[in-house]
Structure 1
Amino acid sequence: MITTVLNADSVREQITLDMLLSRLGYQPAKSSGDEQLYLNVLRDAEPSPTFAINTRLDMWFDRLTKKSGDIVDFGMAYWPGFDQDQVLEKISQLCAFSQKVPDSSGRAGRKRRAIKIPYYHIAETRPLGCTSEITMYLQSQGIWEIALGQLKEVYYYVVDEKHRRKDFFASGWQNENGGWEVRSRNFEGCLGSKGMTFIPGDENRLALFMDYISYLSWKYANRASTDSILVVNAPEFLPAAKSRAAKFAVVTNLFGEQHP
């Protein structure tokens, strides 16, 4: 039997996060609707479950490390010393995706049926203020006022293999690759292609942030600033962000330090 190493798209389509976690020896500590909570996944000795997966979207979010993403992103976080090819190989091996070599009669072995996972669809975006739950979430973060005109309400849904639809909504902002970075009380993630977010301003000054919520908190206290803004959105973009930041004379980094 030959193990088949799946590419990134095949891993996302054929292997679910809960399947991989089960192969790694983790079982949900709590379940509520589409959310499953796990203990001690990315960090040991956690006092309570902080690692969550949304089984409808097949996305994860860790409340301690503030990391999130799909199954490939999880592999990169779980095995930090591996590159993406090694992560894909490891996932393929753990989930036993394999194919049998045809026998001498020429009959191929039965193909394993791919596990279907639902895909999200963005239905529409609206200005802030249309949905009270989103308003209350942003108010709880202390950024409601400054978020007006900066964030959108993003409405999206998934349809599973049984044609069942479930709707979701969140606050969100668009990255430069067309994806939507969404935030709500129970979920953080990216819908579509990942990317950074750039807001042009002063050509000589740049303020660099890990996420848009941090940017808005800063903006609230620095409303007069005309700095250009670069929101990294995901840790893997830090090298690219540093390269772009090098083109500016003055950079305010994630920690608020200035580098002329």
Structure 2
Amino acid sequence: MDFRKKKLSAQEAKEIDLTSYLSSLGHQPVEIRNVDYWYRSPLRNEQEPSFKVNQKLNVWFDHGLGKGGNLIDFGILYHNCSVGELLQKLDTDFSLHQPTSFASNKSVDRESKIKILRDFPLTSPSLLQYLHDRKIPIEIAEQFCREVRYELNNKNYFGIGFKNDSGGYEIRNPYFKTGCSPKDITTIDNGSNEVLVFEGFMDFLSFKTTTKNLPEKGQDFVVLNSVSFFERARPFMENHSQIRLYLDRDTTGINCTQRALSMSSKYKDESILYKNHKDFNDWIMNPEKAPKKHLGRRM
């Protein structure tokens, strides 16, 4: 089956997440301030980061050059090529199209139209490379994820699928993240008296990566798949004597953590481990700050 019937358009290229694209090129943020991601410029040599990406607007600005714009503006400068050559390069290098806009107000409509065609073990080179870039070993990912082929607007796509308790999938690839209905949390019940809570499955996989030498079934887990599902997860979480929260370090995640701490002494904030980073995965992607062995069970 041909999964690449339609060439990548300029509009689709502009909607590719800039931070994910920079990661695919080997560039990681030096600092994250809310929605602003600061890099050492990929377009020139510098010691102090002056290249900013506003992730909400999906635009960049290089203060040293005095230039900025969208992904196409960046790509033609970075690769020293024309717009047509850049679109061909994006098509050839990744073979992954962004199916719709990143705009959050379209997410419900997008998810309702996704039809899962089939799922199977992770095999696509571009997805395996994406996991490598996110510092997730394949042997960890394949325990919890599947490669999914799905249909959206009469076009076929593929990505890494993480199943929830209702049978829906959270889906990721280097250019976008989406999901299919029904939406729900994902719970892993190993009969432990403590539960670890993550906002997204990449953070859960990151934790499993850093603790792969610990007993495989020593803890229970909840992946919220959206912080909005925190209340839905409370019955499962509060059936444990200790609840360890590894939520994102953005405003939403921090506020959710603070509310949980005010509800019960069972809740513990573990996000201090990556306090200078956006989330757990962002932390392990930073080679200057290797995770420590104390991430596992506490005595």
**Which residue of structure 1 aligns with residue 242 of structure 2?**
250
Does 1:236 pair with 2:228? yes
Q: Could you report, residue by residue, the CA deviation over 1:194-215 in whole angstroms, capped at 9, with x for unpaired residues?
A: 1100111133121111111111
| TM-score, length-scaled by structure 2 | 0.49
Report runs of 4+ in structure 1 exceeding 2 Å deviation: 30-39, 43-53, 55-61, 68-73, 117-120, 239-244, 255-260
Q: Indicate the SS of the match to 2:193.
A: strand
Q: Could you report, residue by residue, the CA deviation over 1:164-198 in whole angstroms, capped at 9, with x for unpaired residues?
A: x3221111111112110011101112112111001
1:134 aligns with one of 127, 132, 138: 127
Taking the TM superposition and a 5 Å limit, the aligned residue runs for 1:32-181 are 32-33=11-12, 36=15, 47-48=52-53, 50-51=55-56, 57-58=99-100, 60=102, 70-71=106-107, 119-128=113-122, 130-145=123-138, 146-159=140-153, 165-181=154-170
* Counterpart residue type for residue 169 of structure 1: F
Structure 2 CA distance for aligned equivalents of residues 38 and 141 of structure 1: 15
Cα gap change, 1:248/1:169 in structure 2, threshold over 3 Å: closer, same or farther? same
Structure 2 CA distance for aligned equivalents of residues 135 and 244 of structure 1: 32
Cα gap change, 1:175/1:166 in structure 2, threshold over 3 Å: closer, same or farther? same
2:36–2:55: 8 Å Cα contact kept in structure 1?
Answer: no
1:69–1:190: 8 Å Cα contact kept in structure 2?
Answer: no
1:202 aligns with one of 183, 191, 206: 191
Structure 2 CA distance for aligned equivalents of residues 246 and 210 of structure 1: 17
Q: Could you report, residue by residue, the CA deviation over 1:121-171 in whole angstroms, capped at 9, with x for unpaired residues?
A: 21111101x211111001111113311222110111223xxxxx3221111
* Counterpart residue type for residue 143 of structure 1: I
* Counterpart residue type for residue 240 of structure 1: R
* Counterpart residue type for residue 216 of structure 1: L
| TM-score, length-scaled by structure 1 | 0.55
* Counterpart residue type for residue 136 of structure 2: I
**Which residue of structure 1 aligns with residue 219 of structure 2?**
227
Structure 2: stretches of 5+ with no match in the other structure: 1-8, 19-33, 38-51, 59-96, 247-268, 272-296
Residue 250 of structure 1 and its aligned partner are, at CA, apart by 1.9
Alignment RMSD: 3.8
Name the structure where strand makes up a greater proportion of residues.
Answer: 1
Structure 2 CA distance for aligned equivalents of residues 153 and 38 of structure 1: 21
Cα gap change, 1:36/1:221 in structure 2, threshold over 3 Å: closer, same or farther? closer
1:250–1:259: 8 Å Cα contact kept in structure 2?
Answer: no
The count of aligned residue pairs is: 173
Name the structure where helix makes up a greater proportion of residues.
Answer: 2
Structure 1 CA distance for aligned equivalents of residues 114 and 168 of structure 2: 12
